């Protein structure tokens, strides 16, 4: 067996992965915070909130960096605090404009490394950090970043709009390495030029304007399968995917197992749904910016995510009884609809 592990093993790995389990509390927060707002087109469950403003969409998102990453490598934590926010805007088909941060620090050495990482990522992607707030005397070190982007109102990629019969497409930059400070991070960005990474962000804008997707998300902490699960959950859909079709680097060369790969945060990666007739164009567009895109499955109406490999299949998520975010389509719109 190419992956050296069964569908049951992979399903259990994803279900029990902390990157998935730590998302479970989101639903309760959403229900406590959500209010109707006529200018907010979409909010919870999306990679960025969509706010109508003078005929265009403002995209607003925020991300905090996992404390484990800060402990392992403050520079990489700072870099990722910028990277993950830019990904959130790109996943919506938007153009990132600027960021602000909230930084709590307990050690000067940590501060210097985090700030250097943030600066390097900001310069590389061409998205400035324009303000924020500093706690210089905290008993811990934490970095949180918020980002503002923009997009045409008619060219936004949502998470909650997957349709039955869509193809599931995964696109990842496989030209990278396992980050030396974090075994669950695939770094495909720090070694790239500014032109290369900016092109990868810009291709999502092009895809959005061409209306080639029905839904999409950036692959985040829950990994490839977990991120797809979040997309399906808020769309009220299910899917069948083939593990053998998931894009992956040379596992042996990179000292990786497939079990580890499906949990990793890729430096640049998106999980999407699209009409079958658009898949070939998507694959070509991603190839043009150095990313590998593959059709890995099909969306259905079961509200279950099942994984298949060599004639065997296993359910990973039942979104009716055992979801990830514990939110649905009704939680996403804040317009009282």
Question: pLDDT, tens digit, for every residue of 98-140?
Answer: 999 999 988 888 999 999 999 999 999 999 999 999 998 889 8
Please report the beta strands in 12-78, taking only residues with DSSP state E, as ranges in sequence order: 40-42, 49-53, 56-64
Task: Give me the pLDDT at residue 259, please.
Answer: 93
Checking DSSP bridges between strand 142-151 and strand 95-104, what pairing results, if any?
antiparallel
pLDDT band at 12 (very low <50, low <70, confident <90, very high): confident
Average confidence (pLDDT) over 44-51: 90
Matching CATH number, 47-151, of 3.30.43.10, 3.40.50.720, 3.30.1330.10, 3.40.50.2300: 3.30.1330.10
CA distance 80 to 18: 18
Sign of CA dihedral 145, 149, 153, 159: negative
In the sheet that holds 142-151, the strands lie side by side as 40-42, 49-53, 56-64, 142-151, 95-104, 129-135
- Please state, for a pLDDT cut of 70, what percent of the chain lies above it: 88
Average pLDDT score over residue span 20-39:
58
Helix 279-287 and helix 194-209, axial crossing angle in degrees, nearest 10: 160
- Give the integer Cα–Cα distance in Å for 218 and 264: 13
Q: What is the pLDDT of residues 66-83, one digit of tens each?
A: 788 888 899 999 999 999
pLDDT per residue over 276-316, tens digit each? 999 999 999 999 999 999 999 999 999 999 999 999 999 99
Q: What is the CA radius of gyration of the chain?
A: 19
CA dihedral 269, 203, 146, 156 (to 10 degrees): -100
pLDDT tens column, 143-168: 999 999 999 999 999 999 999 999 99
Check residues 149 and 318 and name the one with the higher pLDDT. Answer: 149
Q: Which two tokens stand for residue 221?
A: 């902490």
**226-251: average pLDDT:** 95
Name the band, by pLDDT with cuts 50, 70 and 90, for residue 331: low
Per-residue pLDDT for 27 more than 70? Answer: no
Predicted pLDDT at 335: 47
DSSP, collapsed to helix, strand or coil, labels residue 96 as: strand
pLDDT band at 1 (very low <50, low <70, confident <90, very high): very low
- Residues 7-23+158-331, CATH architecture: Alpha-Beta Complex (3.90)
Domain map of the chain by residue range?
Answer: 7-23+158-331, 47-151
Dihedral angle over CA of 209, 211, 214, 218, nearest 10: -30
Q: Exposure of 328 by Cβ count < 10 A (0-12 exposed, 13-18 middle, 19+ buried)?
A: middle
């Amino acid at each position: 067996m190419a992956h050296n592990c069964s569908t049951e093993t992979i399903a259990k790995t994803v279900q029990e992965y902390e990157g998935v389990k730590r998302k479970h509390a989101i639903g309760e927060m959403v229900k406590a915070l959500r209010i109707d707002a006529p200018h907010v087109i979409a909010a919870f469950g999306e990679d960025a909130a969509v706010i109508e403003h003078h005929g265009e969409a403002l995209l607003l998102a925020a991300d905090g960096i996992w404390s484990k990453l800060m402990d392992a490598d403050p520079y990489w934590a700072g870099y990722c605090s910028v990277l993950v926010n830019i990904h959130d805007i790109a996943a919506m088909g938007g153009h990132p404009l600027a960021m602000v941060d909230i930084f709590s620090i307990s050690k000067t050495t940590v501060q210097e490394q985090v700030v250097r990482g943030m600066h390097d990522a900001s310069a590389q992607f061409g998205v400035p950090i324009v303000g924020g707030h500093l706690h210089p005397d905290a008993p811990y070190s934490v970095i949180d970043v918020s980002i503002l982007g923009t997009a045409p109102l008619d060219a936004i990629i949502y998470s909650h709009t997957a349709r039955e019969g869509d193809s599931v497409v995964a696109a990842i930059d496989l030209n990278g390495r396992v980050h030396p400070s974090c075994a669950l991070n695939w770094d495909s960005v720090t070694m790239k030029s500014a032109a290369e990474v900016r092109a990868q962000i810009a291709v999502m804008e092009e895809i959005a304007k061409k209306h080639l997707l029905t839904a999409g998300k950036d692959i985040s902490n829950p990994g490839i399968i977990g991120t797809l699960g979040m997309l399906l959950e808020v769309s009220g859909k299910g899917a069948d995917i083939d593990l053998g079709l998931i894009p992956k680097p040379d596992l042996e060369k990179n000292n990786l197992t497939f079990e580890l790969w499906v949990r990793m945060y890729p430096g640049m990666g998106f999980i999407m749904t699209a009409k079958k007739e658009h898949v070939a164009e998507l694959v070509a567009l991603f190839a043009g910016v150095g990313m590998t895109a593959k059709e890995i499955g099909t969306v259905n109406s079961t509200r279950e995510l099942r994984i298949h490999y060599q004639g065997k299949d296993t359910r990973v998520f039942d979104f009716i009884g055992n979801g990830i975010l514990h939110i649905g389509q009704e939680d996403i719109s804040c317009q009282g609809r």
